Structure 1
Amino acid sequence: MPSQKNAPCSYVAHRRKATRSRKSRTVIRPALLKSLPSSLISRPQYFHAPPWPVTVPSQLLTSLAGTVFPRPVPYPRQQGVARVARTDTVCEMEVADWASQSDKELLERRISTLGLKLEGTALKALIRQLYDELSSKGLVFHPPTHIGDEWFVPIGIPAIFIPFFLVHDRLRALERTTMLEVEGGTPEWFMKLMRHEAGHAYMYAYQLTRRKKWRRCFGQTSQEETPNTYRPRPFSRSYVMHLEDWYAQSHPDEDFAETFAVWLTPGLDWHKRYADWPALRKLEYIDELMRSLARKPPLYMPEYRAADYDCLNIKLKTYYAHKRKLYEDAYPDFYDADLRQLFAAPTGIKAGAYLRRRRRRILNAVCQWTNERKFRVNELLARLTRRCDQLGLHALDDDPQQDFRVSAFITTLVMNYLFTGKFKRTK
């Protein structure tokens, strides 16, 4: 549970489970599972977390009406402490201050105090591009955008939250250093994600899931988050291909958002691209549906405070500790017997040095075939390397099959994680 000092944001604590976000969702690649030993395979687990509503006393809401809270919000409110409005000059001074700090110093900063804004950044031009694409289709609703802790659209709120680390080059560098990649870090990648999230926003703004034809086309939806795992059919033509990992197959809402994104993509002839695919029926339905919504304002625009959803009132070190935990939560005690069998040479190059020398090559190969996050595979490699040093193992530097055996071993561990949620083998 959130700590007491974060309670002003945590009264909507269920929001973390009540978002259509893409964080830490695992895809199971069945095509590669056929080659795995049966001992490694078990049934995937599906996690459903309905967002139980939190009741806020009406007296509290009445007493807070019209009050503007700066962030971070002290809790409980300290008596006798004056609230000072934050000016643009103060924000600019803060940016100039933290942008030159070392990673160690920067990690001690609270994200909500960094003075981050979308205005004046290169992201605004990309956001305007999304709005232009919507306008070109006759659509008048332009989803509002906010800075958040990740890519997401809160359930029931037609607004897009963009990760804070995309707002400033210094934060991009920290994200890349910590996680080895920056989701949405290129204009092309950013726009693909924006079109996807716009699909979710339109779904809520126009209450599309209430339509019978929508449910017949995409399936029965719910207020639950997308399952943490799903088993896609890579060769299925019933779903479009937009984001990686056959993401449209993870949930009816994601199927709609992905199909909407393909329909919206400029210059893409989806009639031709998906000719003879069952997914074409979904694209044609969206085309028909969006034409009917042309020049119509949204039906549902609830009031909300972005601060209740952005989850930025934490230190960067806490944010990355949580984020790393998503990718580290099932690391095993690796079997010494496996490593001793893999590096059985009595003499030769040290196995730890061998892995360090070939780390990049192995990392790229494993990530290519498993589509796993580089951070997770890199951490796995680092742990294997440290254990090899501790065991004093050696490898033959001139063995042409050594790279293959090492890559196959690590791929097997990663695939076991993708299928079971654990690297550790089952007996």
Structure 2
Amino acid sequence: MSKKVLNEESKTSFLNTPLCQLDLQFKGSLVEECLKKVQDELKEKGLNFRFHYWISDDWFCPDGISGIAIPFYLLNSKIEKLEKEYVGQVEGKTKSECLKLIRHEVGHAIDNAFNLRECSIRKELFGDSNLRYPKEYIRKPFSKNYVKHLSENYAQAHPDEDWAETFAVWLTPNSEWKQKYSNWKAIEKLNYLDQVMNSLRGKKAKCLCRDTIDEIETLGITLKTYLNRKSKLKRKYQTPIFNSSIKKLFSTGRKSNALNFINANEKELCLKVAKNTNQYHYIVRDVLKELKSECRKNQLTLKRPVRETRTLLINLLSRSTVLYVKQGKNKVVM
């Protein structure tokens, strides 16, 4: 039997392993290092809050619980590779991203521990925490009403995410938030949070709840089921928007590079397509980003004269932008 067949059999066997039986190594991991660092950051801020943590299937902090869940895939390099293969990304793989995610989740945990949601000023600045969580949201990347911490303008998803993102920015060492956000509306939220945190210095948590939810030891689904579920969710808005019509504009070969042409004309293309479709420029740029990826991947070149290409490309991008919004690809899945 060939080595390749053996590898496939080994992979199949591994994928059929229940999550509760996976070999995970927490001690000495990047996650352990980052958790300790964030705990030290809280101490440096004078906050007497030791959050607890447990291993589960994702990053989260349940309502009412003063601790955070850490995803299992960060504790096994083989699983990390499968996460990348099936889902397309590994959230928290780098030290920088891992720290960002922990700070964010701790923002929820400290919110729960000190019962901070009911203040009228908090509601006025951040919104009502009781609003139902959306399954998706439309980001506004140029809004100055929110801080920028995690990707996809995550603070815009819900008032509680806005709070957690603002807390994360406040907690991050050397973030220089007072200078960075001085001319933003978001500075009001940061100043308020700063006042609240200073008022908590040295105090014990009011609602310390060390319960856990979905600990890895309780999860009997297989690794394959977990990966299939997650990849299906991530693919929800990944229907291609460029089809055979792209072949009318570009081809393969050694002629004028299509990617270079798009880069050189990006500003004009964006302006005209945004006007044609009545859409924000950032949405058009997202569509352009997908087209650039196609050009790069397939090494496409111009098929027609420059002037004709420019006209046809504006038409293609206009149709594709309308389709992009119709498919909901401008939304971020929660």
The bucket for the TM-score relative to the shorter chain is 0.7 to 0.9
Distance verdict in 2 for CA 1:270–1:326, change over 3 Å: same
Note the aligned Cα RMSD (angstroms). Answer: 4.1
Is this contact kept in 2: 1:154–1:309, CA < 8 A? Answer: no
The corresponding residue for 1:370 is: 286
Answering whether residue 181 of structure 2 is matched by residue 274 of structure 1, we say yes
2:206 match: secondary structure: coil
The corresponding residue for 2:81 is: 173
Shift of 1:413: 4.5
In 2: Cα distance, 1:265 partner to 1:214 partner: 21
The corresponding residue for 1:182 is: 90
> Which residue of 32, 41, 45 corresponds with 1:137?
45
Is this contact kept in 1: 2:52–2:210, CA < 8 A? Answer: no
Answering whether residue 250 of structure 2 is matched by residue 342 of structure 1, we say no
Query: What residue identity is the alignment partner of 1:254?
Result: E
The corresponding residue for 2:121 is: 213
In 2: Cα distance, 1:127 partner to 1:163 partner: 13
Shift of 1:116: 2.5
Q: Deviations over 1:79-132 (max 9, x none)?
A: xxxxxxxxxxxxxxxxxxxx9984333211111111425233232111100001
Distance verdict in 2 for CA 1:223–1:234, change over 3 Å: closer
Query: What residue identity is the alignment partner of 1:213?
Result: I
The corresponding residue for 1:255 is: 162
Is this contact kept in 2: 1:148–1:311, CA < 8 A? Answer: no
In 2: Cα distance, 1:168 partner to 1:101 partner: 19
Shift of 1:139: 0.8
Shift of 1:411: 6.3
Work out the percentage of aligned pairs sharing the same amino acid. Answer: 33
In 2: Cα distance, 1:152 partner to 1:396 partner: 42
In 1: Cα distance, 2:148 partner to 2:287 partner: 15
Is this contact kept in 1: 2:58–2:70, CA < 8 A? Answer: yes
Answering whether residue 7 of structure 2 is matched by residue 103 of structure 1, we say no
Q: Deviations over 1:124-158 (max 9, x none)?
A: 11110000110000012121111111111112212
Equivalent positions of 1:52-63 (< 5 A) are none
The corresponding residue for 1:424 is: none
Shift of 1:261: 0.5
> Which residue of 280, 293, 300 corresponds with 2:200?
293
In 2: Cα distance, 1:187 partner to 1:294 partner: 27
The corresponding residue for 2:70 is: 162
The corresponding residue for 1:319 is: 226
Is this contact kept in 1: 2:48–2:204, CA < 8 A? Answer: yes
In 1: Cα distance, 2:322 partner to 2:102 partner: 34
The corresponding residue for 1:91 is: none
Higher helix share: 2
> Which residue of 136, 148, 152 corresponds with 1:245?
152
1:278 match: secondary structure: coil
Shift of 1:287: 1.1
Shift of 1:308: 5.8
2:327 match: secondary structure: helix
Query: What residue identity is the alignment partner of 2:35?
Result: I
Query: What residue identity is the alignment partner of 2:286?
Result: T
1:370 match: secondary structure: helix
Shift of 1:186: 0.5
The corresponding residue for 1:152 is: 60
Distance verdict in 2 for CA 1:216–1:340, change over 3 Å: closer
Distance verdict in 2 for CA 1:236–1:313, change over 3 Å: same
Shift of 1:288: 1.1
1:418 match: secondary structure: coil
Shift of 1:301: 2.1
Is this contact kept in 2: 1:239–1:255, CA < 8 A? Answer: yes
1:152 match: secondary structure: coil
Task: Please report the TM-score for the alignment, with normalisation by the length of structure 1.
Answer: 0.58
Shift of 1:277: 1.9
Task: Please report the TM-score for the alignment, with normalisation by the length of structure 2.
Answer: 0.73
Query: What residue identity is the alignment partner of 2:175?
Result: L
In 1: Cα distance, 2:137 partner to 2:214 partner: 31
In 2: Cα distance, 1:240 partner to 1:171 partner: 32
Where do 4+ consecutive residues of structure 1 move more than 6 Å?
365-368, 400-404
In 1: Cα distance, 2:86 partner to 2:237 partner: 19
2:69 match: secondary structure: strand
Give the gaps of 5 or more residues in structure 2: 1-6, 254-258, 267-281
The alignment of Structure 1 onto Structure 2 pairs a total of residues equal to 292
The corresponding residue for 2:26 is: 118
In 1: Cα distance, 2:313 partner to 2:116 partner: 51
The corresponding residue for 2:327 is: 417
Query: What residue identity is the alignment partner of 1:342?
Result: I
Q: Deviations over 1:184-237 (max 9, x none)?
A: 11100111111111100011011000222222221211173x312223333322
Is this contact kept in 2: 1:192–1:243, CA < 8 A? Answer: yes
In 1: Cα distance, 2:284 partner to 2:37 partner: 31
In 1: Cα distance, 2:22 partner to 2:169 partner: 35
Q: Deviations over 1:140-180 (max 9, x none)?
A: 21211111111111122121111111112111111112222
Query: What residue identity is the alignment partner of 1:316?
Result: L
1:210 match: secondary structure: coil
Query: What residue identity is the alignment partner of 1:315?
Result: T
Query: What residue identity is the alignment partner of 1:343?
Result: K
Is this contact kept in 1: 2:113–2:207, CA < 8 A? Answer: yes
1:162 match: secondary structure: strand
1:147 match: secondary structure: strand
Query: What residue identity is the alignment partner of 1:251?
Result: H
Shift of 1:341: 3.8
